[in-house]
């Protein structure tokens, strides 16, 4: 007899088996199984390949919805692994669940133990660890725990909710498209996808409809003891040209006098250790690596026992991870030896953030090393240096504000210099502290005025979301999980709702149409309130609350949404279908009957209007368009011309107008 150990991935199974002792690998139907003895017990260690079981609707018909009669079933293509585990389970007298300790890992292990191992979950033991180091693995097996039933139930409920909402809403959306258009298009929407897309669409609409206002900035260059420095006028923005001209005229050629000098020492506290979102955002800022790819690299580092478990919300490093031992390991590398040795001589108290996670601490290096590719090393180096920086002292900068009088006008110069590097020395080259030096100045000093200049500028719209800032928005609004947010964003790109541009994420016409159509017909789907409410209920399930009420509530809300889909199917389909047409096509030309009407922008005037694609062949069909607002096709008018919706940022209700200026039905 033996204890069967179920792991999530083959690499994790191999690492766990070798950590427990002298492991012997055999192949059973092509699946690796490890035999190992530990503390007078014999273990057989096997693994899944991620999820072996998932939720199935049984109908397999994508045109059918709602689908509410669901069950857990084996995933196609995974039967070989399931059969091997089932055969091993028959001769096992006990079981250990050693999948990743989070909701996803708990669900994977729960499904295997329940379905492949004949209901063994309740009698299994749980191995809990945050790193795959030999010491922590052996420690976890020496003190096995009871399985996390609440964690498993919350994870299973989340899968059920995501499936119920994702599959039913996506089918309703696809069928609506089919009702209003010829053919089929692979569209999707879900309880987290919808609000996330709405965040990006709202920001994009704000940017597109932004009207810039001009303003002027006045600056002056002064010289003291051969050093030239710049200062800005006391009003950062001057809204009238005449006022800025008056300031320049009054100050040109007039020397300045220092009125006051204010110096302050500013402490800069160390950063908190990484959680999943922090790591993803920092990797994007520094390396422009997508959140999903960052997490994939971090998981590779975890499976090689180089870092702790990367799917965590925590910003805390408990003393139990043994700071000094990690520093001792890092000191073996010439890259980190000086910093590690310096820190090891001091009292080690990490600077922590407020966020916690009951399953895992913040991400930290284990002190072990391995051969890494270029991007793997960058992510590893970032994690190591962030860990070191959390133990550093506060950095100190000196900020200097200088008030300069020029012929009755006040200018302000700002300086910032580093007095003490503190933690920034450990976080190089990733710590970026802007510095600007000023000459030694005191009240009453005379300054030579080298020049006074003004520059016209324009107010700017808010910046577009990046993948990093959109992920941060999801985290702030508490939708999705640390494990799923990056995948949600990736899905929006895959569906062509979002596009990556140089200036950030842009929402496509298709993405806009989906959001606007949902707001008009099924507003719950793009609202954060419903999604956030469900996330809070799932947290209660993890703490022991019943899951049945959560599912029933979600189904009731869903049924109402699906009914709204059925009632507005054709209109939803027309709106989304029009946006999915290329080149801003609004519809068939009612004049020549063979061309198509498109939104065209004049190269000379920059104004937009409607024109026919057969213009080169003689068709002169055209119509004016409002110059502000987002244009969307609503439907065809009785006169044959398209009716468009014009959406404005500051109007609650869009315009809906026929583009034919001579339409008899107006």
Neighbour tally for 159: CB within 10 Å: 20
Closest listed residue to residue 134, CA positions, set 219, 17, 215: 17
Phi-psi map region of 502: left, alpha, beta (phi>0 left; psi -120 to 50 alpha): alpha
Q: Which of 115, 233, 309, 336 is the catalytic position?
A: 309
Closest listed residue to residue 351, CA positions, set 303, 404, 389: 389
Closest listed residue to residue 410, CA positions, set 543, 259, 537, 555: 259
C-beta separation of 53 from 71 below 8 A: no
361 — phi, psi (to 5°)? -80, -175
Q: How close are the terminal C-alpha atoms of the chain, in Å?
A: 85
The residue assigned the tokens 């890092």 is 330
Instruction: Determine if the peptide bond prior to 277 is cis (ω within 30°).
Output: no
C-beta separation of 528 from 535 below 8 A: no
b/e sequence 230-253, b meaning 16+ C-beta within 10 Å: bbebebeebeeeeebeebbeebee
The count of C-alpha atoms lying within 13 angstroms of the C-alpha of 267, restricted to the half-sphere facing its C-beta, is: 5
C-beta separation of 413 from 257 below 8 A: no
Neighbour tally for 423: CB within 10 Å: 22
- Residue 9 to residue 190: CA distance in whole angstroms: 28
The count of C-alpha atoms lying within 13 angstroms of the C-alpha of 464, restricted to the half-sphere facing its C-beta, is: 17
- Residue 200 to residue 512: CA distance in whole angstroms: 9
Handedness of CA 352, 356, 361, 364 (dihedral sign): negative
- Residue 361 to residue 317: CA distance in whole angstroms: 6
Interhelix angle 548-567/528-542, nearest 10 degrees: 160
In which element (H, E) is residue 33 found?
Answer: strand 31-38
The residue assigned the tokens 């150990």 is 5
C-beta separation of 380 from 307 below 8 A: yes
Tokens at 399, concatenated: 């900020």
Neighbour tally for 183: CB within 10 Å: 7
Strand order across the 630-636 sheet: 630-636, 642-647, 655-658
- Residue 204 to residue 394: CA distance in whole angstroms: 39
What is Dmax (Cα atoms) for the chain?
A: 96
The count of C-alpha atoms lying within 13 angstroms of the C-alpha of 273, restricted to the half-sphere facing its C-beta, is: 28
**Which own/partner contact pairs does 650-655 have at CB distance under 8 Å and 24+ positions apart?**
650/209, 654/629, 655/626, 655/629
Task: State yes or no: is 309 an active-site residue.
Answer: yes
Provide the Cα torsion 631, 635, 640, 646; round to 10°.
Answer: -20
Tokens at 587, concatenated: 């519809």
- Residue 510 to residue 497: CA distance in whole angstroms: 6
Catalytic machinery residues: 309
């Amino acid at each position: 007899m033996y204890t069967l150990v179920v792991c999530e991935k083959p690499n994790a199974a191999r690492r766990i088996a070798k950590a427990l002792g002298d492991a012997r690998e055999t192949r059973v139907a092509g699946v690796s199984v490890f035999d190992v003895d530990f503390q007078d017990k014999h273990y057989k260690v096997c693994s899944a390949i991620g999820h072996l079981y998932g939720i199935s609707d049984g109908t397999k018909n994508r045109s059918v919805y709602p689908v509410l009669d669901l069950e857990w079933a084996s995933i196609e293509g995974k039967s070989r692994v399931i059969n091997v585990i089932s055969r091993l389970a028959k001769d096992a007298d006990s079981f250990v669940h050693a999948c990743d300790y989070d909701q996803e890992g708990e669900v994977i292990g729960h499904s295997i133990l329940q379905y492949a191992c004949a209901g063994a979950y309740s009698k299994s033991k749980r191995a809990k660890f945050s790193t795959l180091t030999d010491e922590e693995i052996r420690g976890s097996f020496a003190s096995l725990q009871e399985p996390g039933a609440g964690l498993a139930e919350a994870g299973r409920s989340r899968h059920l909710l995501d499936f119920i909402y994702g599959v039913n809403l996506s089918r309703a959306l696809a069928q609506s498209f089919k009702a209003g258009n010829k053919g089929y298009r692979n569209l999707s929407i879900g309880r987290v996808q919808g609000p996330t897309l709405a965040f990006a669409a709202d920001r994009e609409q704000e940017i597109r409809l932004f009207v810039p206002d001009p303003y002027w900035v006045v600056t002056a260059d002064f010289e003291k003891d051969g050093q030239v420095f710049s200062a800005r006028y006391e009003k950062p923005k001057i809204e009238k040209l005449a006022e800025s001209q008056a300031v320049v005229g009054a100050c040109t050629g007039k020397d300045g006098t220092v009125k006051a000098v204010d110096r302050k020492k500013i402490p800069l506290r160390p950063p908190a250790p990484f959680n999943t979102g922090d790591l993803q955002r920092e990797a994007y800022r520094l390396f422009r690596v997508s959140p999903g790819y960052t997490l994939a690299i971090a998981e590779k580092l975890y499976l090689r026992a180089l870092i702790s478990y990367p799917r965590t919300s925590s910003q805390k490093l408990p003393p139990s991870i043994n700071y000094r031992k990690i520093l001792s390991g890092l000191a073996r590398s010439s890259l980190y030896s000086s910093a590690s040795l310096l820190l090891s001589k001091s009292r080690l108290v990490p600077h922590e953030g407020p966020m916690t996670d009951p399953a895992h601490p913040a991400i930290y290096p284990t002190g072990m090393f391995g051969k890494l590719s270029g991007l793997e090393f960058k992510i590893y180096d970032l994690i190591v240096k962030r860990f070191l920086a959390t133990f550093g002292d506060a950095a100190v900068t000196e900020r200097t504000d200088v008030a300069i009088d020029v012929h009755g006008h006040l200018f302000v110069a700002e300086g910032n210099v580093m007095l003490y590097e503190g933690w920034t020395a450990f976080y190089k080259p990733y710590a970026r502290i802007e510095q600007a030096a000023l000459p030694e100045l005191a009240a009453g000093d005379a300054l030579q005025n080298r020049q006074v200049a003004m520059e016209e500028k324009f107010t700017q719209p808010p910046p577009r979301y990046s993948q990093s800032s959109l992920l941060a928005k999801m985290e702030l609004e508490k939708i999705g999980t640390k494990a799923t947010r990056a995948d949600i964003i990736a899905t929006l790109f895959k569906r062509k709702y979002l596009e990556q541009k140089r200036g950030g994420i842009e929402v496509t016409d298709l993405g806009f149409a989906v959001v606007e159509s949902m707001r008009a017909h099924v507003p719950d789907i793009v609202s954060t309130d419903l999604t956030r409410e469900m996330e809070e209920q799932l947290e209660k399930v993890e703490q022991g609350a019943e899951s049945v009420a959560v599912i029933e509530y979600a189904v009731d809300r869903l049924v109402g949404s699906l009914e709204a889909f059925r009632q507005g199917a054709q209109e939803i389909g027309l709106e989304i279908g029009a946006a999915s047409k290329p080149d801003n096509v609004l519809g068939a030309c009612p004049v020549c009957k063979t061309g198509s009407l498109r939104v065209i922008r004049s190269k000379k005037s920059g104004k937009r209007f409607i024109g026919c694609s057969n213009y080169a062949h003689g068709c002169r069909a055209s119509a004016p368009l409002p110059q502000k607002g987002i244009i969307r096709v609503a439907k065809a008018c009785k006169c044959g011309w398209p009716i468009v919706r014009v959406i404005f940022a500051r109007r609650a209700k869009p315009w809906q107008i026929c583009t034919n200026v001579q339409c008899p039905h107006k």
